[in-house]
Amino acid sequence: MSSFEFPGEYYEIMRRDFRPLAAETEFLASFVAPGGRVLDLGCGTGTNLRELGARGFSCVGVDQSASFIDYARKAGGPGVAYVHGKAEEFVADAPFDLVYSLFMTLNYLPRQELRPLLERTRKHLSPGGRLVLEFGHLLNFVENYQPHTVAHHRAEGVLITRLARQSVNPHAANWRNEETLLVRGPDGQVAMYDNFFDQSVLTGPEVRELLTETGFTVTAEYGGFRKEPAPGHGRGPLVIVAAPTEEFTA
């Protein structure tokens, strides 16, 4: 389960501290021909889609957070449409040339939903289309585990203090994050928001196997959005690019 029901402008501020947006945009754009159709599964506030829409791609974003989708719709941008709903329930009416899921969104899905999601995604891809998955894998969770985190994010006169509590259920390979966001606005007013989410702790082999079983062939793996090689020690991000397997018929 996850909430992400707080104002999208605060998510945008925090995202900037974590993510290389320009590199993400170049990376995603490199897998789709000009004017192609793009689907973002778990698009959040639409950050990536606004950049891709501005480059002339035709974009659709799906997210379960009503406040993030509301923010994304208001933020606008050319050629981007948003659907409020669960990624695992999304059904497309036309094929996409690129489907992607970034910033660990795959981990938020209930584990049993991954296979049907990938099966449906394969049907959503045009011939020659690409799937890009960036997910949190076992070592990310192990290395980043802290029972309590306090972090500050600042921009545009806003100060966000994030108080996070994390717990791990090793038997379910589940990571729970509960956080309180204290936001001080430019006018000095303070507001408080709760956010929580559960994440499935995935492994690289598990995701590769699921991809193979659902009719994908892994075409590349990277350690980041500048197409760095995935490091042998397994630390850091893992970005998998896959294409529909041509002879797959299931």
Find the binder of ligand SAM among 49, 50, 63, 216 (CB under 6 A). Answer: 63
Chain Cα centroid distance, residue 180: 21
Please compute, for residue 53, the number of CA atoms within 13 A of its CA located in the half-sphere on the CB side: 20
Find out whether 224 and 239 touch, Cβ atoms under 8 Å: yes
Buried b (16+ CB within 10 A) or exposed e, 106-136: bbbbeeebbeebbebbbebbbeebbbbbbbb
Q: Which of 40, 44, 47, 49 is nearest to 197 (CA)?
A: 44
Give the residue with the Cβ less far from ligand SAM, 55 or 86. 86
Find the binder of ligand SAM among 6, 31, 57, 68 (CB under 6 A). Answer: 68
Total binding residues toward ligand SAM, as defined by CB under 6 A = 22
Give the residue with the Cβ less far from ligand SAM, 47 or 190. 47
Find the binder of ligand SAM among 47, 58, 121, 140 (CB under 6 A). Answer: 47
64 touching ligand SAM, by CB under 6 A: yes
Burial bucket for residue 49 (CB in 10 Å: 0-12, 13-18, 19+): buried
Query: Cα(21)–Cα(26) distance, rounded to whole angstroms?
Result: 9
103 touching ligand SAM, by CB under 6 A: yes
Which residue of this chain has its Cβ atom nearest to ligand SAM in the complex?
Answer: 44
Give the residue with the Cβ less far from ligand SAM, 1 or 94. 1
Instruction: Write down the least CB distance from residue 46 to ligand SAM, Å.
Output: 8
Stretch that binds ligand SAM, among 37-45, 51-59, 71-79, 91-99 (CB under 6 A): 37-45
Backbone angles phi, psi at 158, to 5 degrees: -105, 135
Instruction: Write down the least CB distance from residue 108 to ligand SAM, Å.
Output: 4
Find the binder of ligand SAM among 55, 84, 86, 208 (CB under 6 A). Answer: 86
82 touching ligand SAM, by CB under 6 A: no
Instruction: Write down the least CB distance from residue 180 to ligand SAM, Å.
Output: 17
**89 Cβ partners below 8 Å, 6+ apart?**
none
42 touching ligand SAM, by CB under 6 A: yes
Q: Which of 22, 60, 18, 67 is nearest to 41 (CA)?
A: 60
2 touching ligand SAM, by CB under 6 A: yes
Binding residues (CB under 6 A) for ligand SAM: these are: 2, 4, 15, 42-44, 47-48, 62-65, 68, 86-88, 102-105, 108-109
